[in-house]
Amino acid sequence: MKTLIKRWEWALISAGFIVMIFTLYPTVDGDGAVRFQTVQTFLGGDGGFSKFSFVQPVLSMPLAWLGSQVEADLAGFVAWFNLVVFAVFAIFIYRELAARYTPGVGRAWWLLMLSASMFPHHLQNYYGEVLTSLCVFQAALLVERRPMISAVLFALGCVNTPALLPSLVGFTVVLFLVYKRMVPLVAVGIAVALVLLEMWFKHAGLGQGYFSADEHGAVTVLPYSGKPGFSYPLLLGLMSITLSFGKGLVFYMPALLLCFSADVRRAVGLDRKATLVAFVALALPVVTYAKWWAWYGGAFWGPRFFLFLSAPASLLLAVDLRATRVEPIRFALTLLVLLLSAWVSLDGYLFGQNEMDACWVNNYAQEHLCWYAPEFSALWRPFVTGSAWKITNNIRWPYVLWQLVVISYLALRLAAPVVRIARCRLLGIRRSAPETHAEHA
């Protein structure tokens, strides 16, 4: 039976990749086009280097070189970078999860990342969040077993997304205070050195890029709009990042709520010290971004900057789905988390920000509707416009069929212990009934 389940899960994972290969249609646009500018410069173009990190363009060069050799559309070739990165990292992460927990948990994590997370949407673009997220998650898994590799991965992830650097500093300090480990501090040194080296190579100063006065949003009716830097009120930023209908982590990553369950934390292997470190690691980036004027991630689907939380959220859910004993209330809550996470994945992959142009007309005058109004939230917009009822018209409809099979399978696996317990109780009642009758007689 176990062998059959194993083969079935690997078949589902393989089918998921096949579906994505034929339906993904990745593009290079937005910030991805800015990053691609550096790739073109490396290939001898005249555009100059972009304000973003060198890390992703450098790692993209094998794809770019291959595309140039076959005389393909270079941007179209490099657009597949994030799917390639996801596939490669997923293999190593699976091996680590299988060794740390069980192979079943590793396969469940892989299925959830493909069918019930924010990743399917992000794989469509050449943005930097996918590489950063997987570097950071792999680094966290390797902190104890491969500390130097972990330090390098942490550094690469933070250099690729420099806004995470302050969080890395805070995380390594807490890690040192709790576990007295020096090696994670190496990650900070490597990251700072790489950032300074890149600034020197680009002839850029601290007043450029992210810290430039030109980096600010449009002026709208919102009282704190149009200001640069870390000018947004902290409390308002925290509430918006966690609870807003269009960008809230509660809606886009409901599996994160499982970290408040002692049973789930215990199953993941988090004692009191590890729980403290994990909460610091998750909270510091949220606090950092909450002050930034662009906390919402620009005109992008969902809480763009927090994709790195999606991998640990999927792990929490994978562990919970593999519980051998589940009470009815916990079963209902976990099932709700699974179904909402599945909708997030489907919505991001099929609909994205379709039919939401009203938020960006007149120089983004009504963009706050996409952040706060349920009717304009990317998650619920398909129900308002009716797109949710016309899935077969969507070019990515095969993904829906595959996801339906996966989520149904995971839900049945979740329900199995509940059904088993209910059956045992029912059989116990039936067996005791004749004895009770005899006593009364």
Reported as a single tens digit per residue, the pLDDT across 234-260 is 999 999 999 999 999 999 999 999 999
Query: pLDDT tens, 14-34?
Result: 999 999 999 999 999 999 999
Q: Which pLDDT band, with edges at 50, 70 and 90, does 211 fall under?
A: low
In a domain, 50, yes or no: no
Pairwise CA distance, residues 54 & 62, whole Å: 14
In a domain, 337, yes or no: yes
In a domain, 110, yes or no: yes
Which of the residue ranges 119-123, 217-221, 320-324 has the most confident prediction, judged by mean pLDDT? 119-123
Query: pLDDT tens, 124-142?
Result: 999 999 999 999 999 999 9
Q: Residue 291: in which H helix or E strand, if any?
A: none
In a domain, 61, yes or no: no
What per-residue confidence (pLDDT) applies to 204?
Answer: 66
Q: Residue 183 pLDDT > 80, yes or no? A: no
Q: Which residue in 13, 4, 1 sits closest to 107, CA to CA?
A: 13
Interacting residues of 318 by C-beta distance below 8 A, sequence separation 6+: 97, 105, 106, 108, 109, 112
Q: Residue 431 pLDDT > 70, yes or no? A: no
Mean local confidence (pLDDT), 198-218: 70
228 - beta bridge partners? 216
Mean local confidence (pLDDT), 341-362: 95
Query: pLDDT tens, 46-103?
Result: 777 888 889 999 999 999 988 888 877 889 999 999 999 999 999 999 999 999 999 9
Q: Which residue in 221, 258, 257 sits closest to 372, CA to CA?
A: 221
Mean pLDDT of the chain: 90
Q: Which pLDDT band, with edges at 50, 70 and 90, does 285 fall under?
A: very high
In a domain, 223, yes or no: yes
Q: Residue 289 pLDDT > 60, yes or no? A: yes
Q: Residue 312 pLDDT > 50, yes or no? A: yes
Domain count of the fold of the chain: 1
Q: Which domain holds residue 136?
A: 2-26+80-429
8 A C-beta contact, residue 377 and residue 370:
yes
Question: At 188, phi and psi to the nearest 5?
Answer: -65, -45
Q: Per the structure block, which two tokens stand in for 314? A: 């999927």
Q: Which pLDDT band, with edges at 50, 70 and 90, does 213 fall under?
A: low
In a domain, 46, yes or no: no
Higher-confidence residue of 202 and 253: namely 253
Pairwise CA distance, residues 63 & 39, whole Å: 10
What per-residue confidence (pLDDT) applies to 436?
Answer: 44
Pairwise CA distance, residues 45 & 63, whole Å: 16
In a domain, 415, yes or no: yes
In a domain, 71, yes or no: no
